[in-house]
Structure 1
């Protein structure tokens, strides 16, 4: 399905939320989850360790995953999320995208493309407006842009 979406909408950013360490999750389950996420190639992920909510069926389960294991799995999944995000950012290099600039600090302004790639620039750009930018290189958690 995602391959069909990517063919129909080049450059589409597909994101997901992932909860790791749900009760009963084995190391094999987690490894399969990592493999699935890598295969899907998500552009952006929000990763959370499971946390019990009082009164829910999951909280009553006896096969809870220890907090240290949940934390370690979340860190491993987050590392994969960052790797995949960087790969997605690389696919946008060389393109011109509209960027909505939001904040400026120490002479560097940053904002987001329509596909949520964070773009940084030292060009004079108005905040709160969409500005065409050429995405030229990886930078921090996004890319560096040059005003077109």
Structure 2
């Protein structure tokens, strides 16, 4: 679970506080030639609790920051959320970026609870879209006509 940071997010858009919380969770670490903790995520559960996660990039495929945060949420018995954000910081410039979730994360979000289709995915300081808009064809397809 993540506590609110002590810093103000004034002047940083509607999602500034959530972005700042994710940025505070960044913990880049090299494990051999693999970089872990360079992407962080915060998810706001349907009950208001916040959970953080970081990416773990390993030779065994690893885990995205969003799924890491969602796993922390699921460990408490909560499966639905209202908002999620992921960030990374450029190593050379120190600039922070908000990242859209990859396809695996998008699919995972909706598979753990159908209500998550109405959750907001933060894409910038003042920008978010519903998960359903990132997964426009998320329904199971109809079968082909008989004879195939």
| Larger fraction in helix | 1
- Smaller-chain TM-score range? under 0.3
- Considering only CA atoms, is the larger Rg found in Structure 1 or Structure 2? 1
> TM-score with structure 2 length normalisation?
0.27
Q: TM-score, normalised by structure 1?
A: 0.27
